[in-house]
Structure 1
């Protein structure tokens, strides 16, 4: 029984010498992060398809059961809106091939302008993806959340190919005005979508955005503890990503979320032990 947890990145200045050893060469940073969390959002692939050799380094630094949820390139999802994307998709799939089983899902994050009327385009795109890869789709257009028929249409398309609908829960974040520079920045950029807690597959994926105050972040995820515990009892294997606007404590918060779910489901496998920030000594 596995619950994977992670963050939006595997390196962050606020973690250096506090959560992760510092300095670390690039080829060691992911390995140290993987001592804290066993999943990560592949956000960097949105901006550029990485070199295959770079991806091979990611694989070397992680165990085979580590989960990458790799975001499709912006040129595919936003610029070309899933149309005429054979070449960039071929390059992307070739680049991530070294991840092997670590490539948990292809994350299709769609722009807010991608509306329910565009679902046929999504359907055609998903049907062309290799069966070897799972897909996870994140939509942001309000119509998918307010129109029951639109939601059912999307769910039907996803069910056809065994794809998951990824909720990005920002309800706790938008519950009260921002109080820090990082929160004010996120306030203008993050989507305001209604809460969704339904899973379509045996491997649901959740993105949760809290606040820079850890106590408020923890308070806001309470509903997810029961949801995720329920999924585990049903035999599902979820992945949950914990975000805050500044992400300063994201790894410790992700581990706390895992611990709190484990309090409800004691048979849940524990997370790995973090690599010590400082070398251990005898005295």
Structure 2
């Protein structure tokens, strides 16, 4: 495998992780540095609601290793409210807000709502959005309506070297089409089925097997893979990310082996 594989979680700050993933008593300010000792990437969910202040983005960069990567969800004002139409300035402002991350900025995830159907107008908005996206910024697009899974859409993504996000979520079509030089994979889940995030609660062995096979098939076509697990997928996303890494032959530190001895963290 020549592609760089980055697998991690959607977010890092969950109280239920303290005493299971994080050491007992771990304070919030210590959690991202600890997370970065185990995984080399994270998906930022907070950016879906608002762009980060420069001080926050600098803090994220400062508290993670040099080769760490942050994927950032594009704000809902761009995806859900505007439907990608007329958002060039807003997207540029969002990218500028992430400048403090420097080389640690990974792909931007454009998560579209299920109500966003493919029509002439919405496809035109998508094409304009892709054309207006700043150079050098990697774009992954997640469609939640089946109408978007069509050859012209894949061709539009490929023309911009944008990635069709691969997502496991409810009955969402699991299209595993490669449109760019990187992969972006998301494992979601039912928010009502899992309420605590301190342990694995759903056996996902069959799903792991399918996704491992899909990733192995695609690896020769890409240079980098970004994959993120949600707690709702199986119950405890650090364990899910570690298991997929193991299946792909990647070593993952045992978080408990990193817990400090004696005093609380």
Q: TM exceeds 0.5?
A: yes
Query: For residues 162 and 59 of structure 1, do their structure 2 counterparts lie closer, same or farther at Cα, with a shift above 3 Å needed?
Result: same
Deviation at 1:85, TM superposition (A): 2.5
Deviation at 1:277, TM superposition (A): 5.6
Aligned mate of 1:256, from 224, 239, 243: 243
Structure 1 stretches lacking a partner, 5+ long: 146-150, 175-191, 263-268
Structure 2 stretches lacking a partner, 5+ long: 195-199
Q: 2:58 matched to which residue of 1?
A: 56
Q: Deviations over 1:104-154 (max 9, x none)?
A: 111111122222211111111111111121111011112124xxxxx1111
Provide the C-alpha distance between the structure 2 equivalents of 1:270 and 1:101, rounded to a whole number of angstroms. Answer: 24
Q: 2:160 matched to which residue of 1?
A: 161
| 2:133 maps to 1:129 | yes
Q: 1:114 matched to which residue of 2?
A: 116
Q: 1:279 matched to which residue of 2?
A: 260
In the TM superposition, 1:18-33 aligns within 5 A as: 18-33=20-35
Number of residue pairs aligned between Structure 1 and Structure 2: 250
Aligned mate of 2:92, from 87, 90, 93: 90
Q: 1:270 matched to which residue of 2?
A: 251
Provide the C-alpha distance between the structure 2 equivalents of 1:276 and 1:48, rounded to a whole number of angstroms. Answer: 35
In the TM superposition, 1:9-24 aligns within 5 A as: 9-24=11-26
Q: 2:178 matched to which residue of 1?
A: 199
Provide the C-alpha distance between the structure 2 equivalents of 1:205 and 1:156, rounded to a whole number of angstroms. Answer: 17
Residue aligned with 2:232, SS: coil
Provide the C-alpha distance between the structure 2 equivalents of 1:38 and 1:103, rounded to a whole number of angstroms. Answer: 12
Deviation at 1:273, TM superposition (A): 5.8
Q: Deviations over 1:60-100 (max 9, x none)?
A: 11223222220111111111122232443233112111111
Aligned mate of 1:143, from 133, 147, 172: 147
| 2:206 maps to 1:219 | yes
Check the 8 A contact 2:162/2:180 in 1, yes or no.
Answer: yes
Query: For residues 222 and 101 of structure 1, do their structure 2 counterparts lie closer, same or farther at Cα, with a shift above 3 Å needed?
Result: same
Query: For residues 247 and 37 of structure 1, do their structure 2 counterparts lie closer, same or farther at Cα, with a shift above 3 Å needed?
Result: farther
Normalised by the size of structure 2, how large is the TM-score? 0.85
Provide the C-alpha distance between the structure 2 equivalents of 1:26 and 1:95, rounded to a whole number of angstroms. Answer: 23
Q: 1:103 matched to which residue of 2?
A: 105
Provide the C-alpha distance between the structure 1 equivalents of 2:116 and 2:176, rounded to a whole number of angstroms. Answer: 21
Aligned mate of 1:3, from 5, 15, 22: 5
Residue aligned with 2:123, SS: helix
Residue aligned with 2:19, SS: coil
Q: 1:47 matched to which residue of 2?
A: 49
Greater CA deviation, 59-68 or 211-220? 211-220
Deviation at 1:215, TM superposition (A): 5.6
Aligned mate of 1:70, from 45, 50, 72: 72
Check the 8 A contact 2:180/2:222 in 1, yes or no.
Answer: no
Deviation at 1:214, TM superposition (A): 4.9
Normalised by the size of structure 1, how large is the TM-score? 0.80
Q: Deviations over 1:235-265 (max 9, x none)?
A: 5321222224276421022011100111xxx
Provide the C-alpha distance between the structure 2 equivalents of 1:80 and 1:209, rounded to a whole number of angstroms. Answer: 24
Provide the C-alpha distance between the structure 2 equivalents of 1:62 and 1:255, rounded to a whole number of angstroms. Answer: 19
